[in-house]
Structure 1
């Protein structure tokens, strides 16, 4: 009977999962990164690997990509993303990375194979540099960071 369950589970659909961090500076600007492998900017973070929690993934990715060891804050949004930028749907988790201090910002060391640069971006720059779905996700997360709560989004639009 046990092998039937394993076989049944192996046939279930799989979803892409990603986890990112919303870092801000003292001016409430958002930290964005410029990947080497995309033609648009991103939030720091990345793919959740097999048997890895989204929280562990974002902490690992921040260490790998930015050279920062941080404690992640609370979950801000969960965003289901339909096929579009990617050929399949996915679930994205965005955590509150908090306000980075000047010494933390000075310690950022980009992983050259993955990131070209980083920048602090105001609301207008976030909208210019990110695809619309990511810009909506960041706007929702910034609001939740200030006002509290967690939101469920679909394609960057707040549902609940």
Structure 2
């Protein structure tokens, strides 16, 4: 029997899941929340007991009114505490969105005010810096059929000089 009190005393980390969706022209789908500045990938908080993939699917359905094709995990990005909010692990799943799906997007008006398809190089002009930094390595990983590990949108320095970060992943595969 597990020591419930011990596990309850351990620190908890928040989680979020997002969908990096590209159309047939390679443009990235971004959404504009009503409650904060900037443009973001569709996604949101992982609920208690929910897997990152299930959260991504649920958030796409809630935010877009549809479930796009998701091809797999392309990024895990550890976000440090920011603006009074705890650290968060963000799981980014890559996928595709068709022209028919784009035409069928239904945004929840109390949560999202708009959506846009932009070329990958335009993301930095619209998204907050920590989101924009995540895009190039995530798009590279997507193109190469692998996943990347990031810290605040950046590939961390690994090796003897770096502080070891337990990832459970082979560092060559995670950062290659």
Whether TM exceeds 0.5 here: the answer is yes
1:107 Cα deviation after fit: 0.6
The gaps in structure 2 that reach 5 residues or longer are 157-174
1:86 Cα deviation after fit: 5.0
Matched, 1:70 2:75: no
Matched, 1:126 2:123: yes
Q: Which residue of 2 aligns with 1:30?
A: 28
Q: Which residue of 1 aligns with 2:110?
A: 113
Q: What is the CA RMSD across the aligned residues, in angstroms?
A: 1.4
- Structure 2 counterparts to residues 1-160 of structure 1, below 5 A: 2=1, 5-98=3-96, 100-159=97-156, 160=175
Q: Could you list the runs of 4 or more consecutive aligned residues of structure 1 that deviate by over 4 angstroms after TM superposition? A: none
State how far apart, in whole Å, the 2-side matches of 1:105 and 1:123 are.
17
With the length of structure 1 as denominator, give the TM-score of the two structures. Answer: 0.92
Q: How many residues align?
A: 157
Q: Structure 1's 86 and 17: CA in aligned 2 closer, same or farther, altered over 3 A? A: farther
1:125 Cα deviation after fit: 2.3
State how far apart, in whole Å, the 1-side matches of 2:63 and 2:120 are.
23
3-state SS of the aligned residue for 1:96? strand
1:123 Cα deviation after fit: 2.9
State how far apart, in whole Å, the 2-side matches of 1:85 and 1:142 are.
27
1:71 Cα deviation after fit: 3.8
1:103 Cα deviation after fit: 0.7
With the length of structure 2 as denominator, give the TM-score of the two structures. Answer: 0.84
3-state SS of the aligned residue for 1:63? helix
